[in-house]
Amino acid sequence: MRKFERTSGKPIYQQLADWIREEIQSGNVPQGKDLGTHAEVASHHGVKPNIAERALNQLQTEGWILRNRDDIRKVTRPREAAGVLLKWDPADLRLEAEGPLEVKVLSKMTTSLSADLLKIFEVHGVDGTRASRIVKLHLSGKTPLALETITAPMNDLPGLVMKDHRLTNLYAIIRNHYAIEVESVEQRIHQRMLKPEEANNLGATP
């Protein structure tokens, strides 16, 4: 693998993650190749071990590498998502969608939605501000669609934060609600056609 070169004003670990990802995507680092431990990666690229570890952890979260018991990182490929996989930059995380969204929480988690905000969602399995499913519909052009699943798989969050992303920045929501900084958010969005009764709620025909 080519030695890492700093190229932007991003944090170094993000630049290193971008560099390694590009090397994998370009084929310079073949699938199945051992990258070594984070200390070995740090030594090769001339960065501190904690920088290499953060970069590798990010790539592991994205599905580009696997780690074994000996901390050896091996190149792999992200599995194809059933829907569209969106990776947003923390600097500008804003879902520009026309109309509402459907959000499915995969397990019961506390949301940051207030009781008033919950009124704009169709909610299933509600217990106060806890919901097993929150649904919001939208129109794509003249086609009624629902966004099936939005998940934010972050181990350091006590629950999944859900709000209308047209109104604010998800990183700001997490920062304000949990008083922590999150480096990246991965969301899988699955689109489906609306059921007739759902389309009727929008005054549209599926």
Per-residue pLDDT of the chain (206 residues; tens, 9 = 90+): 677 877 777 788 888 988 888 888 888 888 888 888 888 889 988 899 999 988 888 887 767 887 776 677 878 765 543 333 333 332 222 333 333 333 333 222 334 444 443 333 333 333 333 333 444 444 555 555 544 434 333 333 333 334 333 334 555 555 665 565 655 544 444 455 666 765 665 554 44
Q: Which residue has the tokens 């780690």?
A: 67
pLDDT, position 65? 81
pLDDT, position 27? 82
Burial 165-192 (b: 16+ CB within 10 A, else e): beeebbbebbeebbeeebebbbbbbebe
pLDDT, position 35? 85
pLDDT, position 51? 92
pLDDT, position 74? 79
pLDDT, position 143? 57
Per-residue CA distances from 154 to 36, 116, 125, 167, 186 (Å): 25, 26, 22, 22, 9
Q: What does the angle CA 26 – CA 64 – CA 41 come to, to the nearest 5 degrees?
A: 85
- The CA distance from 102 to 124, in Å, is 12
- The CA distance from 86 to 95, in Å, is 10
Encoding tokens for residue 197? 């009764």
Residues of the chain with CATH 1.10.10.10: 12-75
The fold adopted by the segment(s) 12-75 is Arc Repressor Mutant, subunit A (1.10.10)
pLDDT, position 100? 38
Encoding tokens for residue 126? 């509600």
Q: What's the whole-model pTM score?
A: 0.41
pLDDT, position 70? 67
pLDDT, position 31? 80
Rounded to 10°, the helix 49-62/12-26 angle is 50
Strand partners, 127: 130
Helices (H), 27-48: 38-45
pLDDT, position 164? 37
